[in-house]
Amino acid sequence: MKIAVSSCLLGTSIRFDGGHKHDRFITDELGRYADFVPFCPEHLAFGTPRPTIKVVIDQEIPMIVSNKNGADLTDALQKTSEDETRAISQAGISGIIFKSKSPSCGLGSTIAYLPNGYAGGKTDGMFAAMCKANFPLLPMEEEGRLYDPWLRENFIMQLFAYDDFERFKASRPAMGKLVAFHQSYKFLLQSKHELSYRRLGHIVGNLDKLSFDEVLDLYESVFKETIGIKSSIKKTRNVLEHMAGFLKMHLTSVEKAVLHEQINDYANKIIPLIAPLSTLDMFAKKYEVEYLLKQKFLTPYPKELALRSDIRSGK
Ligand code: SF4
């Protein structure tokens, strides 16, 4: 999997002051499963070190202005942002991680100044805004928000599901494979948005007799939108209960009680999600319930990332 990342987060000394903002989760943990495509539109435009810049919004039009002399640098940063956008789009990436608060890279956390010099709220950096416009379905997040275990778990799940779909599409599948793909994502999609899961089921059902390419295109856009929706403890609890239903006829009364107690404890934020999921996984293996064992929801990303072991990963 390839992920585009702000160069300074990878430890490259490329910030305005010649420093970096190395992020260990990205390089040391995510880096075990991904190749990085670095970008830095400011370095391309102004070199390193360089005077600082800011976003000024004048009558709803964002401009890039030098903090040193007030010069309008919008065109220069626009040009290198376009160059970087082109470069990452050609690299076949499955997601982007931006450096927060930057006039170029911030994703909703950049201060927007008013022409009078006062802060007027938060906005996107120029490059991040361009990426949002060009890649509306691509997973993207800023490193600052990834310190929140819930946002981190949701983002990593989205990233791996997106990459999985890209690989699936590249395998030149036929209808039968799409049905199997959809079934394997049943519980993950339900943990995001039940109605979207059903909509995807109708698309796969193809009552309108569309060509397979049309079905796949439609499926792709709804699938990618759905995996971008944040899950919640309530939705996840419903999914766990639903999965437990597939084991109903196999479990002893003690096993059932243990499983339901764990699901309740998860819903009450006493234990993390990994606890009831491990129990479900163990029972599915014990009773050879293949349908459950094929579910991506059990292991949506490498288990070594251990993101579901954190009690704060549920909200
Ligand atoms: S422009 Fe982006 S990548 Fe470059 S130093 Fe600033 S935040 Fe980092």
* Cα separation, 87 vs 59, whole angstroms: 31
Three-class DSSP labels, 46-71: HCCCCCCEEEEEECCEEEEEECCCCC
CB 200 within 8 A of CB 182: yes
Of 3, 64, 99, which is best to mutate to test ligand 1, by the most ligand atoms within 8 angstroms of its C-beta? Answer: 99
Q: Are residues 104 and 187 in the same domain?
A: no
**Residues 184-201: tens digit of each pLDDT:** 999 999 999 999 999 999
Verify that 214 and 243 share a domain, yes or no.
Answer: yes
Q: Whose CA is nearest to atom 4 of ligand 1?
A: 40
156 lies in the same domain as 205? yes
Task: Looking at the structure, tell me whether residues 297 and 226 fall in a common domain.
Answer: yes
Residues whose CB is less than 8 angstroms from the CB of residue 185 and which lie 6 or more positions away in sequence, other chains included: 161, 223, 295, 296, 297
Output the ligand 1 site: residues, CB below 6 A.
6-8, 14-15, 40-43, 99, 102, 104-105
Ligand 1 nearest atom to the CA of residue 16, by list position: 5
Strand-pair partners of 123: 110
User: Residue 40: which CATH number?
Assistant: 3.40.50
Closest ligand 1 atom to Cα of 8: 8
Q: Residue 248 and residue 242: Cα distance in Å, rounded?
A: 10
Q: Among the atoms of ligand 1, which is closest to the Cα of residue 48?
A: 5
Mention every residue, 6+ apart, whose C-beta is less than 8 A from residue 59.
Answer: none
Q: Are residues 100 and 171 in the same domain?
A: no
CA of 117 to the centre of ligand 1 (A): 23
Query: Using an 8 Å Cβ cutoff, are 43 and 34 in contact?
Result: no
3-state DSSP helix/strand/coil % of the chain, to nearest 5 = 55, 10, 35
Q: Are 152 and 307 in contact (CB under 8 A)?
A: yes
Residues 198 and 311 in one domain: yes
CA 99 to ligand 1: nearest atom: 7
Quick one: 173 and 272 in the same domain?
yes
Long-range CB contacts (within 8 A, 24+) of 104-109: 104/40, 104/41, 104/42, 104/77, 104/128, 105/6, 105/41, 105/142, 106/142, 107/132, 107/140, 107/141, 107/142, 107/145, 108/142, 109/142, 109/144
177 and 36 share a domain? no
Q: How far is CA 16 from the centre of its chain?
A: 28
Structural domain boundaries enclosing 259:
148-315
Q: Which of 3, 5, 8, 107 to mutate to test the pocket of ligand 1 (most atoms within 8 A of CB)?
A: 8
| 272 and 290 assigned to the same domain | yes
The per-residue pLDDT for range 251-262, each reduced to its tens digit, is 999 999 999 999
Which residue, by CA, sits nearest to atom 5 of ligand 1? Answer: 15
Alpha-carbon span 120 to 111, nearest angstrom? 7
Q: Which of 144, 153, 64 is nearest to 109 (CA)?
A: 144
C-alpha 41 – ligand 1 centre gap (Å): 7
Q: Where are the beta strands (DSSP E) in the chain?
A: 2-6, 35-39, 53-58, 61-66, 96-98, 110-113, 119-123, 140-142
Atom of ligand 1 nearest to the CA of 39: 3
52 lies in some domain? no
39 falls within a domain: yes
Closest residue by CA, ligand 1 atom 8: 8
Distance CA 274, CA 236 (A): 12
Report how many domains make up the chain: 2
**Residue 262 in domain:** yes
Low-confidence residues of the chain: pLDDT under 50 = none
Centre of ligand 1 to C-alpha 8, Å, is 6
Which two three-digit tokens encode residue 164?
């999985």
CA atoms of 198 and 128, how far apart (whole Å)? 32
Distance from residue 89's CA to the centre of ligand 1 (Å) = 18
Q: What is the pLDDT of residue 59?
A: 86
Q: Per the domain annotation, does 61 fall within a domain? A: no
Mutate to test the pocket of ligand 1, among 13, 105, 126 (most ligand atoms within 8 A of CB): 105
Selection from 180, 111, 106 nearest residue 145 by Cα: 106
Atom from ligand 1 closest to the CA of residue 104: 1
Which tokens in the block code for residue 259?
A: 């499983």
* Ligand 1 mutation target, pool 42, 46, 79, most atoms within 8 A of CB: 42
**Residue 35 confidence (pLDDT):** 98
